[in-house]
Structure 1
Amino acid sequence: MDRALRSVNRVLLALAGLLLLALGLAALVGGFDLARHWNFDMPSGWPWARPDDVLLSGTDRTKWRDESWWWPSVFAGLGLLVVLLLWWLLAQLRRRRLGEVLVESGDGEGALLRGRALANVLEAEAASLPGVDKAAVRLTGRRTAPRASVELLLSAHAEPGPVLGRVSGEALENARSSASLEALPAEVRLRTVKHRPERVV
Structure 2
Amino acid sequence: MNNKWNKIIYKIGSSFYDNLFNTGIFLKARKRIFQEVPFHSQQKILYVGIGTGADLELINYKDYDITAIDYSPEMLHKAKRKFEHSTITFLEMDAQKMTFEDESFDYIVASLILSVVPDENKCFGEMIRVLKKNGSMLVFDKFASNNQKKPLAQKMLRPIISLLGTDIGRNFEELFNKNNQRLKIIKDEPIMLSGMYRSIEIIKLY
Query: Which band: TM-score by shorter chain?
Result: under 0.3
Q: Which has the larger radius of gyration?
A: 1
After TM superposition, the score normalised by the length of structure 1 is 0.24
After TM superposition, the score normalised by the length of structure 2 is 0.23
Q: Which has the higher strand share?
A: 2
Q: Which has the higher helix share?
A: 1
Higher RCO structure (Cα 8 Å, ≥6 apart): 2
